[in-house]
């Protein structure tokens, strides 16, 4: 299972914080302790990816003025956002791709000199295979062997000296490029995270100041914007520090959002097209590494579906709305249209509602309007005429079902206005979708019923692993979930220091975890005082 981590520094009330996105990620804490800030940060990342530029105000989230993002509203201290990377061999694969282009170009030049017969002796696929396997020395040895044979071929066919010199120059240029591409990133060959530094400027507003690629041995290299607005290459690697002087990275990269874009010079560049190495080729290589790393790190935040704590009030009739199949909306108006148009959605939602002897359906009023009906005991009632809680839980069910596989679903207070029994059933609902569809849920909740059901399912999974012969344990296996697939985070606020903290609760295989202090203290106090009055 890939690990998705989000670290942040100097963001809103947090000095620093970290959250790991597990299939079920639970956020607990008192009001105004920082839970919503974390959710808004994820929505900000998603909004920035979708728009292609850094935006704190948009359709997904409105964070107000830029200063609101900074701790203590102090825009002099930069915000840092660090995202984990699951593909550790990005640099190796991009260097191999770059070297492969060099090999392709080399062979095209050899063909120009009419020495096709040597293609059969040393196939370029053999060289590429060695490059991809990390055998740089072996690949270069094959190139040197091919060079000698090519020169011998030129001699035997009475080629002019200029031809032989050209062949030698082609090989020397190619070898130089391949050596550079692999040596330049020495020490940072395995990457694990990408860090964005976000600064505020009174003229340009929020902007990306630095993008840093980090390895697991504390080495790094980055691109950093200087005071003139140009990008400079930075590194902990001495070799790259020497090389960066010849690379004008600003000619290659344009950065407005989290995923950089290639400038036209890069888009039109023919890698290794000339006999001499040009810095634009290496700038393109560096762009590719940054681009691929950013794409990998932000992939989890690309498909985000958010259900806020305040769902809309149930209406009696809903205007028919055209639905874009590529973009799922979570408002009740859209939910009504989805239920009317997608029988499979209605079937899956009713699977869970039948536990409460109720089913959801739609009724066409005319060509322009339809209604949501709830059916129970032979009666069909309009959504506006039944308990308010159903209108609040239906968007939770439909959005969770409709969201694509491996998408990220954020639900704030799924328990709002619904009975504790249904709150517990929601825990099972989230578990099933997380296990079967690979969806990731971030649940912000105050529901003890939901937490206790989750605790039970973790314990059942642990018991099933220890003793699979029990029929009771086998019957609960579909709802049971491993503690490794659950993360529970507790946010706390220190009002004197104006600081929020987030800590991960330890979960045992028997389902025990650390509850927030406010949950336990209040409960214990009420029980003690109640027992005192029992005589």
* Type and span of the H or E element at 232: strand 231-235
Residue 88 and residue 304: Cα distance in Å, rounded?
Answer: 24
CA geometry: angle 527, 453, 433, nearest 5 deg: 155
Q: Which position has the token pair 């670290």?
A: 7
Range of the domain at 363: 306-402
CA 292 from centre of chain: 13
Is 145 found in the same domain as 118?
A: yes
Is 365 found in the same domain as 244?
A: no
Does 397 fall in a domain?
yes
Does the CA dihedral 185-187-193-198 come out positive or negative? negative
pLDDT, residue 326, reads 56
* Type and span of the H or E element at 385: none
Helix axes 332-341, 388-402, angle to 10 degrees: 60
Q: Residue ranges of the chain with pLDDT lower than 70?
A: 1-2, 111-122, 153-154, 156-162, 187-189, 238-247, 264-280, 321-327, 330-333, 466-477, 520-522, 535
Based on the structure, what is the number of domains in the chain? 2
Does 139 fall in a domain?
yes
Does 495 fall in a domain?
no
Helix axes 448-466, 420-437, angle to 10 degrees: 50
pLDDT, residue 358, reads 87
Does 357 fall in a domain?
yes
**pTM here?**
0.86
| Paired sense of beta strands 5-11 and 14-20, if any | antiparallel
List, in sequence order, every residue forming a beta bridge with 225; answer none if it has no partner: 231
Is 346 found in the same domain as 258?
A: no
Residue 80 and residue 88: Cα distance in Å, rounded?
Answer: 21
Does 386 fall in a domain?
yes
Is 290 found in the same domain as 319?
A: no
Over the chain, what is the mean pLDDT? 83
Asked if residues 454 and 483 have their Cβ atoms less than 8 Å apart, the reply is: no
Q: What share of the chain is helix, strand, coil (3-state, %, to 5)?
A: 45, 20, 30
Asked if residues 23 and 485 have their Cβ atoms less than 8 Å apart, the reply is: yes
Residue 337 and residue 362: Cα distance in Å, rounded?
Answer: 9
pLDDT, residue 118, reads 52
| Paired sense of beta strands 408-412 and 304-307, if any | parallel
Residue 180 and residue 243: Cα distance in Å, rounded?
Answer: 9
Is 311 found in the same domain as 298?
A: no
Asked if residues 260 and 207 have their Cβ atoms less than 8 Å apart, the reply is: no
Is 316 found in the same domain as 239?
A: no
Domain boundary among 302, 322, 339: 302
Residue 249 and residue 230: Cα distance in Å, rounded?
Answer: 8
Is 232 found in the same domain as 120?
A: yes
Is 285 found in the same domain as 335?
A: no
Task: Report, in angstroms and rounded to the nearest whole number, the Rg of the chain calculated over CA atoms.
Answer: 30
Is 217 found in the same domain as 353?
A: no
Domain boundary among 380, 402, 424: 402
Closest CA to 382 of 373, 392, 390: 373
Is 323 found in the same domain as 288?
A: no
Is 296 found in the same domain as 358?
A: no
116-151 in b/e burial notation, b at 16+ Cβ within 10 A? eebeeeeebeebbebbbeeebeebbebbeebbeebb
Does 11 fall in a domain?
no
Does 497 fall in a domain?
no
Residue 501 and residue 493: Cα distance in Å, rounded?
Answer: 6
Residue 50 and residue 299: Cα distance in Å, rounded?
Answer: 11
Question: Residue 262 has which token pair?
Answer: 């290639």
Domain boundary among 284, 302, 320: 302
| Paired sense of beta strands 486-494 and 499-505, if any | antiparallel
Is 322 found in the same domain as 195?
A: no
């Amino acid at each position: 299972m890939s690990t998705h981590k989000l670290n942040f520094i100097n963001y809103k009330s947090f000095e620093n914080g970290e959250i790991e996105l597990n299939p079920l990620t639970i956020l607990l804490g008192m009001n105004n302790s920082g839970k919503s800030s974390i959710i808004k940060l994820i929505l900000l990342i998603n909004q920035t990816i979708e728009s292609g530029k850094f935006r704190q105000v948009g359709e997904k989230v409105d964070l107000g003025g830029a200063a609101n993002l900074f701790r203590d509203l102090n825009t002099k201290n930069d915000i840092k956002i660090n995202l984990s990377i699951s593909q550790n061999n990005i640099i190796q694969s991009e260097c191999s791709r770059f070297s492969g282009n060099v090999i392709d170009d080399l062979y095209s030049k050899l063909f120009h000199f009419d020495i096709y017969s040597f293609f059969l002796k040393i196939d370029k696929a053999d060289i590429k295979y060695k490059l991809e396997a990390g055998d740089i020395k072996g690949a270069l040895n094959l190139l040197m062997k091919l060079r000698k044979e090519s020169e011998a071929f030129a001699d035997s066919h009475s080629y002019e000296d200029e031809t032989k010199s050209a062949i030698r120059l082609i090989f020397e240029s190619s070898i130089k490029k391949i050596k550079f591409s692999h040596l330049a990133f020495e020490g940072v060959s395995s990457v694990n995270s990408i860090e964005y530094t976000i600064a505020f400027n009174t003229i340009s507003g929020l902007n990306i100041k630095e993008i840093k690629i980090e390895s697991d041995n504390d080495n790094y290299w980055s691109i950093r914007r200087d005071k003139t607005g140009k990008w400079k290459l930075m590194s902990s690697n001495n070799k790259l520090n020497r090389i960066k002087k010849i690379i004008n990275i600003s000619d290659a990269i344009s950065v407005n959002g989290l995923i950089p874009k290639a400038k036209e010079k890069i888009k039109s560049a023919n890698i290794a097209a000339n006999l001499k190495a040009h810095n634009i080729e290496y700038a393109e290589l560096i762009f590719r590494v940054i681009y691929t790393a950013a794409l990998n790190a932000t992939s989890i935040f690309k498909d985000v579906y958010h259900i806020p704590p305040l769902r809309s009030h149930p209406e009696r009739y809903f205007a028919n709305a055209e639905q874009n199949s590529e973009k799922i909306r979570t408002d009740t108006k859209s939910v009504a249209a989805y239920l009317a148009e997608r029988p499979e959605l209605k079937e899956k939602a009713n699977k869970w509602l039948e536990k409460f002897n109720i089913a959801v359906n739609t009724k066409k009023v005319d060509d322009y309007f339809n209604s949501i009906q709830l059916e129970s005991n032979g009666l069909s009632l309009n959504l506006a005429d039944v308990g308010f809680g159903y209108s609040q839980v239906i968007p939770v069910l439909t959005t969770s079902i409709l969201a694509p596989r491996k998408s990220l679903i954020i639900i704030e207070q799924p328990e709002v206005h619904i009975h504790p029994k249904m709150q517990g059933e929601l825990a099972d609902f989230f578990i099933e979708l997380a296990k079967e569809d690979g969806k990731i849920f971030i649940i912000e909740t105050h529901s003890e019923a939901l937490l206790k059901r989750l605790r039970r399912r973790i314990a059942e999974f642990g018991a099933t692993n220890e003793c699979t012969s029990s029929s009771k344990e086998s019957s609960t296996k579909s709802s049971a979930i491993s503690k490794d697939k659950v993360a529970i985070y507790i946010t706390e606020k220190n009002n004197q220091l104006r600081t929020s903290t987030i800590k991960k609760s330890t979960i045992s295989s028997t389902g025990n975890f650390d509850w927030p202090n406010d949950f336990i203290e209040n409960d214990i106090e009420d029980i003690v005082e109640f027992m005192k009055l029992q005589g």
